[in-house]
Amino acid sequence: MSQTADMQRIEDLRKQLNYHNYRYYVLDDPEISDAEYDRMMRELIELETQYPHLVTIDSPTQRVGHTPSSGFSTVQHQIPLYSLSNAFDQEELQAFVNRVQRSIGQDVEFVCELKIDGLAVSLTYQAGVFVQGLTRGDGQTGEDITHNLRTVRSLPLRLNEPVDINVRGEVYMPKASFQRLNAEREAAGESLFANPRNAAAGSIRQLDPRVAASRNLDIFIYGIGAAEALDLNKHDACLKKLSELGFKVNPSYQVCRTAEEIWDFIQDWTSKRASLPYDIDGIVIKVNDLNLQNQLGYTAKSPRWAIAYKFPAEQVVTKVLDIQVQVGRTGALTPLAILEPVFVAGSQVSRATLHNEDIVKAKDVRIGDYVLVQKAGDIIPEIVEALVERRDGSEIPFVMPQHCPVCEQPTKRLPGEAVTRCVNGQCPAQQLEGLVHFASRNAMDIAGLGPAVVEQLVQANLVKTPADLYKLTFDDLVQLERFGKKSAENLLAAIEQSKRRSLANLIFALGIRLVGVEVARELAMNFKTMERLQQASIEDLMEIDTIGEKIAASIVDYFSSPANLQLINELVAVGVNMEMSQESQAELILDGLTFVVTGKLESYSRKEMEDLLRSLGANVTGSVNKNTDYLIAGEKAGSKLTRAQELNITILNEEEFRRFLAERGVNID
């Protein structure tokens, strides 16, 4: 056979194998025997071995690599992956529907989907070929798990159309595969996975893709993050299109028009969930119209156009052995129930937070009580109620201590607050927790500075405040237990490197009450320097959409403290970055502007243009509406161009966009 004929045979085999892979793993409707499939695969492997230069990344032979990875790199998401707000009952669900309809001013269609209990991922295809897969991570960045995702047989390596598209999905482990995996691990004397979700997450993060391949993982695709040349206006149309492209889409979704229809869908699947071959932990409800989704927008953490209804949690009975009090980084005293260990929703539970004094009193939980325990959202252990009828008189009521259990200074509960606090800023517990938070991944990300090392430093009286970290010396560290020359050098290098972290990282690291990662990012983008943030009033802060009065007051209160101002001055003195770099500020020249890209561009692919816009701070959406500021249009722009003209939106071609940026000091030529 000639090389030309071999090349054609390779292409034919790939098409046939991809087709039969889709029939088997996506449609569950195979047309050929396993033996015939294996015969074609062996033939393709032989031909690709003969012609290694013809091997492509989307070939069926490339699903399982043979070289273990040395680790997972972190990659910025093309479009952020937001988490969903939760509803736990019909009343909260009705409140969500009311909010949406009140904001829109009309009745709204919703799509209800099964909430697969697995690992959220983001997949990118270029010209229809799978090129990258990321974990959700913190929503802004995720870990690159491309090689392991290739092992998921229901994930297409090449789509039915050569589109550029980013999609979102959920990797999961079927119940049968989970039971088989745990049986194998038990026989081998290995620890068992707690539940299919943990097993899926652990499998997809294996460094050796052959291990992931052996775990029989599956995936459902549930949404489009960004797409080239797909002009879709509704979410249910997106699901249909995803299926046409070759993705495995869960068929059990429904368009609903009222809260009653949504509730009926939820009740139906609450009763049927156990019959499914995979775990679901709730129902996701989304506004169907994509233009309305854009109109509703996002909070700092989640979309306003979607919510997750969580199924009622599994409940078990156990005994409260003790109630201890923990002191957090803000001085909050939190009662913690120490429980007789019990198995709940897939894992053993031995403690549960009681949050604050009012909750302990309202639930009347006492030391020695038998209690009903569940996992809120199937994750966080909580006490539902005390079983009063089982008391024998030996139970001891809980009393919040009037003195901090760590520093023994008086505690205080401010009017209107549910939390009792230790108000001693020098409390060792607060210092310890504050230092751990300062060094954490989303803060200053100081590798090697975990809770155990922080505790060592505090106990050795080497560190009290974050500024003290930057004064540590090699001699300080090598005197500590388990600290050798190399570990001391590595920690000092990590601390030095953290000085260059972004302003957003630093703001979050300070541990200001109510200021999370997203709010810290917004503060950095809006104020640009720590000095300007320190001087901001409540009114200044509330001009940011995601910041309300409580968060604004907390920020102003933080910067009114002499101790906090002293800490910042000390951080300045040791060289910690206090402002956005000129490069970073230049990157945000389009902050607050919304762009849509359409048509075929000459110098950029649509993805490249959208990446450029986002790097400059712009909000990039897939559809044109009244909130769109600019449309960048290439050839064959189609309906989006027509819509922009109808709405009098500014339209730019590539050359006009270059001049637009040049006028703002950015040259992209």
Beta-carbon count within 10 A of 650 CB: 12
Residue where the block lists tokens 């070759």: 246
Res. 582 pLDDT band, cuts 50 70 90 = low
pLDDT at 403: 94
d(CA 247, CA 242): 6
Query: What percentage of the chain exceeds 70 in pLDDT?
Result: 94
Q: Does the structure show a pLDDT above 70 at 581? A: no
pLDDT at 625: 83
Residue pair 30/24 in contact by the 8 Å Cβ criterion: yes
pLDDT at 615: 67
Write down the catalytic residue from 15, 115, 286, 640.
115
Res. 340 pLDDT band, cuts 50 70 90 = very high
Q: What is the pLDDT of residues 7-55, one digit of tens each?
A: 888 888 888 887 887 776 677 677 877 677 778 877 887 887 777 778 8
Q: Does the structure show a pLDDT above 50 at 517? A: yes
* Residues contacting 432, CB < 8 A, separation 6+: 451, 454, 455, 458
- The structural domains of the chain, ordered by start, are 3-62 (1.10.287.610), 86-310 (3.30.470.30), 315-402 (2.40.50.140), 428-498 (1.10.150.20), 503-580 (1.10.150.20), 586-662 (3.40.50.10190)
Mean pLDDT of 193-198: 80
Res. 412 pLDDT band, cuts 50 70 90 = very high
Q: What is the pLDDT of residues 436-461, one digit of tens each?
A: 999 997 899 898 898 889 999 998 99
Q: Does the structure show a pLDDT above 60 at 65? A: no
Q: Does the structure show a pLDDT above 80 at 667? A: no
Q: Which of 359-363, 599-603, 615-619 has maximum average pLDDT?
A: 359-363
What value does the mean pLDDT of the chain take? 87
* Residues contacting 182, CB < 8 A, separation 6+: 192, 193, 199
pLDDT at 394: 96
Q: What is the pLDDT of residues 349-408, one digit of tens each?
A: 899 999 999 999 999 999 999 999 987 655 678 899 999 999 999 999 999 999 999 999
> What are the structure tokens assigned to 641, written together?
């161009």
Beta-carbon count within 10 A of 596 CB: 26
Res. 81 pLDDT band, cuts 50 70 90 = confident
- Quick check: helix, strand or coil at residue 222? strand
Q: How far apart are the first and last CA of the chain?
A: 49
Res. 1 pLDDT band, cuts 50 70 90 = low
pLDDT at 584: 54
Beta-carbon count within 10 A of 161 CB: 15
pLDDT at 66: 47
- Give yes or no: 115 in active site: yes
527 to 122, 246, 507, 510, 580: CA distances (angstroms): 31, 46, 11, 16, 9
Q: Does the structure show a pLDDT above 60 at 585? A: no
Res. 187 pLDDT band, cuts 50 70 90 = confident
Q: How many CA atoms lie within 13 A of 584 on its CB side?
A: 17
d(CA 409, CA 401): 11
Mean pLDDT of 556-569: 93
pLDDT at 86: 87
> Higher model confidence: residue 23 or residue 587?
23
pTM: predicted TM-score of the whole model, two decimal places: 0.54
